[in-house]
Amino acid sequence: MDIQFYGANCIVISTKQARFVFDDTLESLGAKSIVRDGDICLFTSAHPTPITQAKMCIDVPGEYEISGVNIRGLQSRGHTDGETERTAVMYKVSVGDVKVLITGHVYPKFSDAKLEDIGLVDIMFIPVGGHGYTLDPEGALQVIKQVEPKVVVPTHYADPALTYEVPQATLDEALKVIGMEPSETTKKLQYKPAEITTSTQLIVLEK
């Protein structure tokens, strides 16, 4: 399994059998879509626009078994939702023994039931840009403390190649608030459990 980051919340998980693309909203931000023919596309919020080259598109909660990968879409409260609204979807992706959580634009306070539903997490992707657009660094830190993943990868921060509706915090600004130093900066994440310590590590994925 390889994991790559393309800016905003766009993450790609590649296995020998399939390529899973999460939150490719890059065209709406002034960049090019990275979807290829046959990709499985997943979105953490409603995405009514069809993606013709994708093999499958998912933007709703549910359980999916695709090319040997188990995916659970967890209905969640979005970061701007009212107390009873649930417009976001988090994805728990299981590739072999590795558990990956794609959070998206969620409200940062999870219930005990939600945390139980999430369970153990090896790698968690979480936005940090803030300013009302998505989770801010304080909210991201709150989620990190609740989920306690082995590895955290920040997403959705300021990027000169993307035009956000609302300016986003820079990665450096966000990490100062979160209070974590990157243990590694890489273009492709290949998770190796034997190299992970007992404390949560922060890894920066370069585009």
In this predicted structure, what is the pLDDT of residue 112? Answer: 95
Residues 100, 174, 131: CA angle, nearest 5 degrees: 100
In this predicted structure, what is the pLDDT of residue 18? Answer: 95
The residues spanned by each domain of the chain are 60-205
For 189-198, the pLDDT digits (tens) are 987 766 666 7
In this predicted structure, what is the pLDDT of residue 196? Answer: 67
In this predicted structure, what is the pLDDT of residue 194? Answer: 62
How many angstroms from the chain centroid is the CA of residue 139? Answer: 14
Q: Say which DSSP state 14 is in.
A: E
Q: Is the domain 60-205 a CATH 3.60.15.10 member?
A: yes
In this predicted structure, what is the pLDDT of residue 65? Answer: 94
* Cβ burial 96-109 (10 Å sphere, 16+ → b, else e): eebbbbbbbbbbbe
Helix axis angle, 171-178 relative to 137-147, nearest 10°? Answer: 50
In this predicted structure, what is the pLDDT of residue 42? Answer: 97
Select from 101, 187, 95, 81 the least CA-distant residue to 144: 101
For the beta sheet containing 56-58, the strands, ordered from the edge strand earlier in sequence to the opposite edge, are 2-5, 11-14, 19-22, 40-42, 56-58
In this predicted structure, what is the pLDDT of residue 50? Answer: 76
pLDDT under 50 in the chain at which residues?
none
Q: What is the pTM of this model?
A: 0.94
In this predicted structure, what is the pLDDT of residue 192? Answer: 73
